[in-house]
Amino acid sequence: MAAVTQDTAVSTGRVTRTFLYVVLGVFALFYLLPLYVMGVNSVKPLAEITGGNMMALPRVWTLEPWRAAWSTAQIGIEPTGLRPYFLNSILMVVPAVAISTVLGALNGYVLTKWRFRGDTIVFGLMLFSCFIPFQIVLIPMALVLGKLGLAGSVPGLVMVHVVYGIGFTTLYYRNYYASFPTELVRAAMMDGAGFFQIFWRIMLPVSGPITVVSVIWQFTNIWNDFLFGASFGGTSQPMTVALNNLVQSSTGVKEYNVHFAGAILAALPTLFVYIVAGRYFVRGLMAGSVKG
């Protein structure tokens, strides 16, 4: 396939090709520049930054800002560093991603293979949730969390993100399973497999690409969420809120090197998920959009 694309692509001369790569390289550098600034300044002593020249490499290399950001920096009123909040985020994001993905897969399975009267309306209503702005639901959500006794806790945040994520994960899995041959489900039924056996043995094993999409999407959104975390986090605030508290503190000296290190720490998990699963991402997004 690759050979074919090369042959059929518009033929380009050596000069054009070089020009293209130079332009692409320049753009790549331009977009990498902020990361460079963050990286370089997170390993400098504060004095070098305040002394000017943000772009230069550090004269004295130090990991102290990272250590501070992780474990000793002043977050709000406690000098705990980002570590406990990182843990909060992990405790929130892992169950929230897992539960919303599993529920989305089950929904998609039911909406395509066990269709019932009014299933398209149910699906349409679920799609609505993809378009509701976060801010609108803050107050009703606070009421519900309060009634359930989950306000200000990690399980409360998990519930909020699961509820918000189901619309998207259902959309992904429904579209993916819509192109899954129904005859396979019928064959499994005749073979004697039940509802969950068909799901577990027939559908899930071929759901890899769409699961990657769902996990990346949910992980990124939940990890990066600030509004719900700030509103409902209470004493178990996630990483994003803590980072804000670290960076926005209005008293004392602004420790830019620590702030840079903290920001990178906050972005690392999503980066990790993208690198591990990213190559399936586009493949999964496309799956089900065209028959084939």
Nearer to another protein, 71 or 120 (CB): 120
Of the candidates 49, 158, 188, 242, which one interacts with another protein according to CB under 8 A?
Answer: 188
Please choose, out of 16-24, 55-63, 119-127, 180-188, the segment that lies near another protein by the rule CB under 8 A: 180-188
Tokens of 120: 């398209």
183 binds another protein (CB under 8 A): yes
Smallest gap from residue 217 Cβ to another protein (A): 24
Counted residue by residue, the chain has a size of: 292
Tokens of 17: 């090709």
Q: Give the largest CA-CA distance in the chain.
A: 76
Per-residue contact flags (x/-) with another protein for residues 198 to 217, judged by CB under 8 A: ---xx--xx-----------
116 binds another protein (CB under 8 A): no
Task: Give yes or no for a contact between 92 and 234, defined as CB atoms under 8 angstroms apart.
Answer: no
120 binds another protein (CB under 8 A): no
Query: Can you say whether residue 234 is alpha, beta or left, with left for phi > 0 and alpha for psi between -120 and 50 degrees?
Result: left
Nearer to another protein, 181 or 292 (CB): 181
Shortest CA distance to 169 belongs to which of 133, 113, 221, 132? Answer: 221
User: What ranges in 81-148 are assigned the alpha helix state H?
Assistant: 83-113, 119-128, 138-148
Smallest gap from residue 197 Cβ to another protein (A): 7
Nearer to another protein, 238 or 288 (CB): 288
CA 90 from chain centre, in angstroms, equals 12
**Would you tell me which residues interact with another protein (CB under 8 A)?**
181, 183-184, 186-193, 197, 201-202, 205-206
